Chains A and B, each alone.
Chain A
Amino acid sequence: MMATSVNDLILEPPRLVKHTPLLTVTNINKQYGQVIALEEVNVELYPREVLGVVGESGSGKSTLLRMLNLEENPDSGAYHLEIPSYQDQNLFELSRFERRQLRVKQIGIVYQNPHLGLRMRNSSSGNVAERLVVAGERNFSRLRAAAKRSLEVSEFPVTRMDDPPKNLSGGMQQRVQLAKAIALKPALLLLDEPTTGLDVSVQALVLDTLRRLQRDLGIAMLVVSHDLGVIRTLSDRVMVMRHGRVVEQGLTDQVLEDPQHPYTQQLVHAKL
């Protein structure tokens, strides 16, 4: 029997889905000294879609996320978001000020470490309201009402909305981050290991909130995780990264149940 190690079946471009991707990243490369962090990475994310990115530490997934959040530029490559007044713009070419404007209004992010996303000593409602203030809202009661609404949507107990995050559990802190991230209804929500480090039962609840949110608000999400359970629960499609390259991508169930690349096979066997 002839054993063919690689399934060389090539998929066609989308024919039924007519709209353009919300997010398109083309040929990103990034090198830190001798280390290649990202090599020829391409990403497409469609409206309402959830894309998972898996890989071990050092695979480049966090670097990619920082670039999508416009915290850092690649050595080469382009980044487009299909949102009004930015359509034909390579976002990597924006000025600092323009980046900040775009991030505040259109890109929400939840970090694994809440210290990166929150002021731990300010009130939770204040943390959420901060986004709205940056966007120009000054009226106190409107700010408070909007913060409360956002916390409610994130299934945060509003009786505790004035507690500072430092007094909250890990799961609650993630909900505050989430409320802050979605306060301005961004086009794109980035999740960096959103439930890593939480108790398993708390993790399930936060994942459930994320699913519900995605369903009700229809936000496109990109979730980075090394946890295949998280990816399976949240994402429609998944990209597998290794040594800065995308080694495999596909529908989540296909990648997890019929992985093609040797590395993905190893990953799936090790983790499930």
Chain B
Amino acid sequence: MILEVNNLSKHFYLHQLEREVHAFSDLNFTLSSGEFLLVAGANGVGKSTLLRTLYRSYKASDGLAWYDSRHGRIDLVRAADVDIALLRQEELGFVTQFLRPRPRVSAVELVAEPLLFAGFEPAQAEHQASAALEMFGLKRELWQAYPTTFSGGEQQKVNLARALIQPRRLLLLDEPTASLDVVARAALRERLEHLKNEGVAMIAVLHHPEDAAGLIDREIMLTSDLPPDAGFLEPEVAYVA
């Protein structure tokens, strides 16, 4: 078992409004190597929040998330920040629908960057980055261009290439297929299948689960445990730029 989640809860407290915003509470599930878990549920029920909490972009309110890292077993909820940073560098991957392109950094540089941080030779990093962009179908003439000017779909190809360029043991996928064309969608599915066969565990939130048809092993359903008039506030709206 690579991940064991016990009674995981997350709520946000907005000091200015003196208000608590509920995301989810008392979640329990496990995940094994090579397993693909789909997180299902209505909009705003906290699916993305769950992924972000496991990645520690959000701080859990309570519970445990035992992760079996290469360095030993550790609770992702309470692990030191530097330990989480190490795991993100080596084992944990997060794939979002958003790319944060930086001015004057080319597509191929952006994709190669994680490899350079991991100590790869520049030539080899660039070679692998090009192959990844090729796979997701980004037009060759755009490889040296700056993604700040790309369309949403093209940015997403760069983003996927970057997010999936390094080997990972646990991948968190937050709507990775949103805004992708048919070719890129198929490429992504193929890539995920390959990773799954290599033993990578995955937890995904998908708008169209059919994009991952044949890959999904299990599903957990998140439901809102709030009374209907509790006025759920989507936390993303509150915090993400």
Contact = CB atoms under 8 A, between A and B. Distances in A.
Interface of A: 1, 3-7, 9-17, 46, 49, 201, 204-205, 207-208, 215-216, 233, 236-237, 249-251, 253-254, 256-260, 262, 265-266, 268-269, 272
B104 A265 contact: no
B95 interface: no
A263 B81 CA distance: 21
B220 interface: no
A25 to B, nearest CB: 16
Contact of B13 (A5, A16, A216, A268): A5
B69 A16 contact: yes
Given A9-B77, A204-B103, A233-B102, A258 B86 contact: no
A16 B61 contact: no
Contacts of B84: 251
Interface of B: 12-16, 18-20, 22, 52, 56-62, 69, 71-72, 74-75, 77-87, 102-105, 113, 116-117, 230, 235, 239-241
B86 A16 contact: yes
A14 B84 CA distance: 9
A14 B83 contact: yes
Contact of A11 (B18, B78, B102, B241): B78
Given A16-B69, A262-B15, A265-B14, A9 B61 contact: yes
B117 A215 contact: yes
A234 to B, nearest CB: 11
A17 B15 contact: no
Contacts of B57: 251, 253-254, 257-258
Contact of A16 (B15, B74, B102, B105): B74
21 contacts: A3-B13, A3-B19, A3-B20, A4-B61, A9-B59, A12-B79, A15-B80, A16-B83, A16-B87, A17-B82, A201-B103, A204-B104, A215-B113, A249-B81, A251-B57, A254-B56, A256-B239, A257-B57, A260-B59, A265-B14, A269-B16
Contacts of A49: 82, 85
A135 B144 CA distance: 41
Given A250-B81, A259-B239, 16 more contacts: A3-B20, A7-B13, A9-B59, A15-B72, A15-B74, A15-B80, A16-B83, A17-B82, A17-B83, A204-B104, A215-B117, A251-B85, A254-B57, A254-B58, A256-B239, A260-B59
A1 B11 CA distance: 11
Contacts of B59: 7, 9, 250, 254, 258, 260
